[in-house]
Amino acid sequence: MGNDEVTTTDRMDDVTLYHTFSGLKNKKGLKSSQLKTLLAIGGWKLGAVPFTALASTPESRQTFIASVIKFLHQYEFDGLDFDQEYPGSHGSTPQDKHLFSVLVQEICEGFEQNAKQVDKPRLMVTTAVAAGISNIQSGYEIPPPVSVSDDLSYNSSVCHLYLDYIHVMTYDLHGSWEGYTGENSPFYKNPTDTGSTAHLHVVSPRIDADADQRPCRKSRGDLGTKPTKIPQMSHLYNICTFLKYGATEAWEASEDVPYAYRGNEGLGYDDTRSFKIKTGTGSSSSGGSSGGNGFWAGKASGLYPVANNRNAFWHCPNRLTYQQNCPAGLVFDTSCDCCNWA
């Protein structure tokens, strides 16, 4: 980024890579008809400071949004993944917690207006968010959770109104900085976890818990490791090689994730089974997505329309059932599992 506008990096092959990546949607022989490609902007290396500057005024925000729209169309991306690490920390000011909400809202509104102008589907808006409790609390405006007995009508929330997906960075839950071994991104906490570590699992992060009460799609995953010998994150091809050549694979039932070991080396990772559990399409060792009471019985965790009431939807997380309503004037749209204009 530069002068509040999105630009390519100094790499000479950026443009080639953009076209190759977006070209996957048209590649013959692939089941790619539903494939969406997003451009991620941000990351830990870029930090939060550039976002502080561009979010600070209405003029700078509109400059940024206009440049993003032009860039996404130019390279045939389907949307933006906004990766500010992190609002309210890592060099960011406390005011950025609110400005993050403002910027995301204005990005979505800009994408809506552009869709009408070019007569094409709206560009998607997603964000990568922190998994650690302290960064969540300092970085994101999240309404208080509601209970079943509360009036479950909507209040103002960036999540339910403006984001298509939330990508929780669960690969940051655990790592080599801790000095002991274990799973990198457990679904549930290990029975031995106490104190602050008891919150470091996929179903715990506050932003995820609150998103569970709004029609906002969540994506989570980790392909990192927390090994015993080499204290670092590993790439997918390293994990595949480790598993292929002599590693013993095992399953940690209390955390619903696999791990593998060979000699004095070990790693935690995700496989097909654990991904299905995390996305609500598979059965948990702890009974996470089979059985249950009420509307939820026999269904995977997720969002479902309410018969004869387009404004309402069923939300079924972790064997619980809630009936909720979209804001006035909106209806539940099964094509995106979100509240949309009628």
Helix H, strand E, coil C: the string for 149-210 is CCCCCCCCCHHHHHCCEEEECHHHCCCHHHCCCCCCCCCCCCCCCCHHHHHCCCCCCHHHHH
Name which of 24, 11, 125, 139 is nearest 68 in CA terms. 125
Q: Which helix (H) or strand (E) holds 221?
A: none
Kind plus residue range of the DSSP H or E element containing 83: strand 79-83
CB 169 within 8 A of CB 129: yes
Cis peptide before 86 (omega within 30 of 0): yes
User: Which two structure tokens, joined as six digits, stand for 110?
Assistant: 């800009």
Cα–Cα distance between 241 and 160 in angstroms, integer? 40
The CA distance from 106 to 158, in Å, is 11
User: Is 74 within 8 Å of 118 (Cβ atoms)?
Assistant: no
Active-site pick, 5, 59, 85, 141: 85
Which of 189, 332, 178 is closest to 252 using CA atoms? 189
C-alpha dist (Å) from residue 28 to 24, 31, 33, 71, 163:
9, 8, 10, 26, 31
The neighbour count for residue 137, using CB atoms within 10 Å, is: 15
Is residue 85 annotated as part of the catalytic site, yes or no? Answer: yes
Helices and strands in the chain, H and E counts: 9, 13
Determine the Cα angle at 148 with ends 297 and 153, to 5°. Answer: 110
By annotation, the residues acting in catalysis are 85
